[in-house]
Amino acid sequence: MRAPGGTRGWFLPALAIVGAVTAVRVVLLAFSRADLFVDEAQYWLWGQDLAWGYYSKPPLIAWVIRGATEIAGSDAPFWIRLPAPLFHAVTALVLGAVGARLAGTRTAVAVAAAYATLPMVTVGSLLISTDTIMFPFLAAALAGYLALLDARAAGGRRPALALATGLALGLAFLAKYAAVFPLALAILAALRPGLRPAPGDALLALAGFAALAAPNLAWNAANGMATLSHTVDNTGWRGGIGLDLPGLLRFVAEQALVFGPILLPALVLAAADGRVPRRAGLLALLSLPIVGLIAVQALLSGANANWAASAYLAGTVLAVAWLAERPRWLAASFVINGAVALALPLLATRADTIRWGERLVLARYVGLDELSRQILDLAEAEGARAVAANERAVLAALFHTGRDRGMPIHAWPPEGAPRNHYEQRHAYAGGASGPVLAISRGAAAPPCVPLRSGRLTPGPGAYARSRFTWWLVPPDCWEGRP
C-alpha cells in the first residue's frame, strides 16, 4: 500500500461518479414495483409519532422518513425510500475523504466509487434500512477520529472537531446500536499511543456521543428497556446456544455477497499484509473484529447477513487501498459489483413480473399491498368498524396501505408481554362502534363466537402459498380474556 501522495483533486471526480450512480438509482427507484417491506412500513409508522425510541430500533430512521415525507408532501414508497440512495452517496464521499487522507487522490476516487457500488449499498438504496441511516454518521466519525490522530501527531488539539466526531457517532447510535462496535474498537485502539487522540479531544468526543445517546437510553429505561431487550432477543441466547457450523459457513458466504466476492478476501489479505502502514492498519482493527464477532454469533445462535455491515466502512477503504496496487483485481471487482449495482434496480422495476420458474424472483417484496387492499375491501363490505390482525408483517402493510381509508387498524391484544411495536402501541382495547374484522394466518382464532367467517387467498408474491382466515367478531370479543 502506497503512502499518500497528495489529497487534492479527488473530490470532483468522486462526486461525478457517485452523483451519476445515485442519479440512476433515484430514477429507477421511481419505477420500482416492490412494495414497502415489513420493516420499511414499520419505520414509516414510527415516524407518525416522533419519539426518542421505538420497540425494536433507535429513532433516527423514523425521524428521517418523517422529514422526507413532510418535505415531499407524500407518504408514497418512493419518498419513504428516497433518503436511502442520498445517504449512501454522502457516505461514499466521506469515505473518499478518508481514502485521500490515508492513501492519496487516486485511491480516494476508487474508494468512493467502490463503496457506491457495493452490493449491500445497492440493496440499501432500494430498501431503506437502519444501516443506511447509520453509515454517513459512522463514516464521519471515522474521518474525525483519523483527523484527531493527525492533530495529536502534529502536537495540537482540535476541540470543535472532537465534539463533532462524538456527535456524529451519537447520531450513528441513534440510527442503529451497531455503532457501538466501532466505538469499542476505537477505545481499544487508543490503548496504543500512536492511535490515541489527545486526552481532551477524546473526552470531548465521548461527551458528544453521550449527549445524543442519553435521551434514547432514558427512553428505554422509561419503557421497560424495550429496544435493548429486543436487541438481546435477536441474538437468540436466551433460548440457549449451540454450535451451528452450517450457519457459520452460510454467514461467511453471505459476507461475500454483502461486500463483494473480491473485496472480502482483499480485506483479509490487506489486514495480514505486514507492509500496511500503521494508520491503514487501524482500518483493519476497525473492521475485521466486527466480522469475527458476528461470525461467532452465527456459529452459536445464528446471525443475519447485515449484522456485520458496520465493518465495511473502514473495510472498504482498506480493501480498495490494497487492491490499488493490483489494478486488474480492482477492475474485476468494479465489473462484478457494478453489474449487480445496475441489475438489482432494474429488477425492482419489474418485481411483479420477473420469475424464476413459477416463482417471482422478488416474491417477498410483492403482494403485501394487495393483501392489505383485500382485507380493507372485505372489512368495508362486511360493515366492520375496525380491523385486527395478529401478524406483524400484515399489520405493517395494513397501516401504510390503509393510511387514507379511515379504517382503524389494531393488533390482537397480546397474551403476556408485547412481541412487537403493534402489540405495544396499537393493540385493540375494545370500544369499536361495530363489529371487528379479525385476520389470522395459522391456527390462532379470536376468543369469541364469530358472526361470520371465511378465507382469503392472496395473489402472487409473499403470501402466494398462504391462506388467511377472517372472522367478523363483536367489538367486545377480547374483553375478559385471562
Domain ranges of the chain: 11-348, 367-473
Cα–Cα distance for residue pair 139/145, rounded to 1 Å: 10
Give the residue among 459, 450, 461 at the shortest CA–CA distance from 388: 450
Quote the pLDDT of residue 5. Answer: 45
Q: Which three cell numbers stand for residue 32?
A: 420500482
Q: Which three cell numbers stand for residue 49?
A: 409519532
Quote the pLDDT of residue 115. Answer: 98
Quote the pLDDT of residue 156. Answer: 77
Low-confidence ranges of the chain (pLDDT < 70): 1-8, 226-242, 274-279, 480-482
Q: Are 138 and 42 in contact (CB under 8 A)?
A: no
pLDDT tens by residue, 255-301: 999 999 999 999 999 988 866 666 677 898 889 988 998 988 888 87
SS3 content of the chain, % helix, strand, coil (to 5): 65, 5, 30
Cα–Cα distance for residue pair 303/253, rounded to 1 Å: 12
Work out the number of other CB atoms within 10 angstroms of the CB of residue 459.
Answer: 12
Quote the pLDDT of residue 281. Answer: 77
Strands 386-389 and 355-356: unpaired
Interacting residues of 105 by C-beta distance below 8 A, sequence separation 6+: 5, 6, 7, 8, 9, 10
- Give how far Cα 81 sits from Cα of 67, 268, 410, Å: 12, 33, 25
Give the residue among 380, 375, 379, 381 at the shortest CA–CA distance from 395: 375
Give the residue among 450, 443, 440 at the shortest CA–CA distance from 475: 450
